[in-house]
Amino acid sequence: MKKKTWIISALMYAAVFAACFGVLHFMKKIIEPGSQASVPISAVRMEAGEETGDADQGNVTDESAEPVPVATGSQAEEIIREKGYKSWEKYFPGIWSPPQTEETPYVPPKVILATDLHYQSASGWDKGRAFQLFVERGDGKVVQYLPELLEAFIDEVIEEKPTALVLSGDITMNGEKMNHEELSARLKRVQDAGVQVLVIPGNHDINNTKASVFFGEEKEQAPWVTPQEFYDIYHEYGYDQALSKDQDSLSYVYELDEKNWLLMLDSCQYEPENLVEGRLKESTIAWAWEQLAEAKEKGVFVLPVAHHNLLAQSRMYTTQCAMENNQEVIGLLQYYEVPLFVSGHLHVQRIRKYKSEPGVPDGEYGIQEIITDALSIPPCQYGELVWELDGSLSYQTRAVDVSAWARRTGTDNEELLDFEDWSYRFIQELISNQIRGIVKNLGEDVEKSMAAVYAAVYMDYYAGREIDAKGVKSSKGYRFWERNMPDSYLLRELDAMIADSDRDHNYFLLPELTP
């Protein structure tokens, strides 16, 4: 009897041990990369703390419902962040990064973002009156040194060796064919150094009847490019390497690596004529839905890039910046909980988070947008976006060191050798002169003081720097504005720039650091 009892007990312990081992083995298969265990998506989402939406349905089975999708093997951990940002951030930090092994150490991507180059060939102008007027009436582009600026920038890109160099539109001054062809030839040096160049057009680049050359007293119209010609000139810069290309626009998908894609969106309207405003075609939005759905299925992180802005980011520039159908685009991206969008166009360094309505807590999900300011305008900045090994994304701006390039290349041009100081004085004088052309009959000292405070705020605003609102508003120049031109649109612009600049916009970390 004792022997029988001992045998029964042994069998029971063995059964318990086997059951525990089976559960542990099954769980190991769920989370272990390369395993073949199958896990229902709903089960994984419940494990991650998400509601499946059918809590009130009990165990009732709807035979007409679609079958529950199943994740197999290494897909399991990817499905855990099926909803994108929230699951990843809260439960699985570092999920973007594949596991590290001695055999195949993972090097996460690094992308350099530059926008609004507005490249102008030196062969398209002389020192005549037409060119001088073009510069004087501009917004601060260092037009006379754009080829040198580009070469210095290219040197820095090659030295940094990013995964890709992304140029997000307005890559030429006004779409001149000669500027496109010369820019493409110069970019070849980046590609030959092993850095993939990726381009999309901006509103200045295609079918732009403002394309001009500047010789003598009057500017003259120059040949521009069609959409097909743009593709022909730049096809090796992203289009030839694309995973997918939209048939109705110059949009495409580029694979940075097996875990990360760039969704390069052509937001421009250039058919039948060129428009400043941006808009994604309905067919392009449908194509983008397909790309994001495929990325979700494969567990791939997608970073959308466009020329026009996703969000209204400026109190000063309130029209022609955000895409006309931006709410539809926001709806698409937020459906997949895409965390970040990058753009250009505004010429102002800005970072903003989308909130569906006022009062939404900062910790809640909302897509964020980084606008990198124009490379062509001092301080001639570009952005560097880095995928970190811990799964975070970091962004910061850098100013092109033209002076170092000038010394290295042996030029004797003093303005290039001291480019940072020269470019600061150039834009300060340019904006001051423009303001003094409007502010008149107030006396030289008053006009100079008013122009100086406007120019200083303008420069900090474009560069995305924090502005000391109290300090500016207590300055003599600002008080002159209030006293002499209280109803001026220029004072409203000053106040708008100050209000927009309550923090520095040159640094960003995803996920955000919250209390």
Mean pLDDT of all residues belonging to the chain: 84
Residues 154 and 292 in one domain: yes
- Give the C-alpha separation, 302 to 488, whole Å: 44
**Domain count for the chain:** 3
Same domain, 227 and 320: yes
Given this model, what pLDDT does residue 360 score? 72
Partners of 507 in the beta sheet? Answer: 396
Q: H or E element: which one contains 154?
A: helix 146-160
Q: Are residues 436 and 369 in the same domain?
A: no
pLDDT of 6 higher than 90: no
Residues with Cβ within 8 Å of 382's Cβ and at least 6 positions away in sequence, in order, are: 112, 113, 114, 153, 372, 375, 397, 398, 400
The reply to whether 153 falls in a domain is yes
Domain annotation covers residue 356 = yes
218 falls within a domain: yes
Model pLDDT for residues 394-442, shown as the tens digit of each residue = 999 999 999 999 999 999 999 999 999 999 999 999 999 999 999 999 9
Tokens 């754009």 -> residue? 146
Q: Is 344 in the same domain as 433?
A: no
Co-location of 371 and 351 in the same domain: yes
What sign does the CA torsion over 450, 455, 350, 503 have? negative
Asked if residue 217 and residue 165 are part of one domain, the reply reads yes
86 within domain boundaries: no
Place of tokens 């001088």: 132
Together in a domain, 400 and 417 = no
Same domain, yes or no: 399 and 423: no
pLDDT of residue 16 exceeding 60: no
The closest alpha carbon to 461, from 501, 506, 505, 492, belongs to: 501
Which structure tokens are listed for 143? 């037009």
Residue 87 pLDDT more than 90?
Answer: no
In a domain, 90, yes or no: no
pLDDT tens per residue across span 467-505 = 999 999 999 999 999 999 999 999 999 999 999 999 999
Do residues 292 and 424 share a domain?
Answer: no
Pairing of strands 218-221, 212-215: antiparallel
Q: How far apart are CA 187 and CA 208, in angstroms?
A: 22
Does residue 105 lie in a domain region? no
Q: pLDDT tens, 294-319? A: 999 999 999 999 999 999 999 999 88
Mapped onto helix, strand or coil, the DSSP state of residue 483 is helix
The answer on 351 and 318 residing in a single domain is: yes
**In the predicted structure, residue 91 carries a pLDDT above the cut 50:** no
Lowest mean pLDDT among 97-101, 352-356, 379-383, 416-420: 97-101
**99 domain-assigned:** no
Q: Do residues 308 and 457 share a domain?
A: no
Which tokens go with 347?
């010429």
How far is it, in rounded angstroms, from Cα 402 to Cα 419? Answer: 6
Give the strand pairing for 110-114 and 164-168: parallel
Which 8-state DSSP code applies to residue 400?
-
User: Which tokens is 464 given?
Assistant: 């995305």
* Domain that residue 370 falls in: 110-406+506-510
Q: Say whether pLDDT at 48 is over 60.
A: no
Q: How far is CA 309 from the centre of its chain?
A: 9
Confidence of residue 88 (pLDDT cuts 50, 70, 90): very low
Write the CA distances from 465 to 349, 406, 424, integer angstroms: 8, 27, 14
pLDDT at 7: 41
Residue 78 pLDDT class (50, 70, 90 cuts): very low
Cα 183 to Cα 168, 169, 340: the distances in Å are 14, 13, 29
pLDDT at 196 > cutoff 70: yes
Bigger pLDDT: 16 vs 451: 451
Let me know whether 383 and 418 are in one domain.
Answer: no
Give me the numbers of helices (H) and strands (E) for the chain, helices first please: 17, 17
User: Residue 260: beta bridge partners?
Assistant: 257, 301
The pLDDT value recorded for residue 98 is 53
Instruction: Find the CATH number of the domain harbouring 293.
Output: 3.60.21.10
Encoded amino acid at 10, one letter: A
Count the neighbouring beta carbons within 10 Å of the beta carbon of residue 238.
23
Q: In 3-state terms, what secondary structure has residue 271?
A: coil
Query: Could you read off the pLDDT of 239-269 as tens digits, one per residue?
Result: 999 999 999 999 999 999 999 999 999 999 9
Does residue 456 fall inside a structural domain?
A: yes
pLDDT of residue 134: 97
How many Cβ atoms from other residues are within 10 Å of residue 151's Cβ? 16
Measure the CA–CA gap between 441 and 316, rounded to whole angstroms: 26
Cα end-to-end span (Å), the chain: 66
Give pLDDT, residue 99: 53
Query: What pLDDT is stored for residue 488 in this prediction?
Result: 95
Judged by DSSP in three states, 214 sits in strand
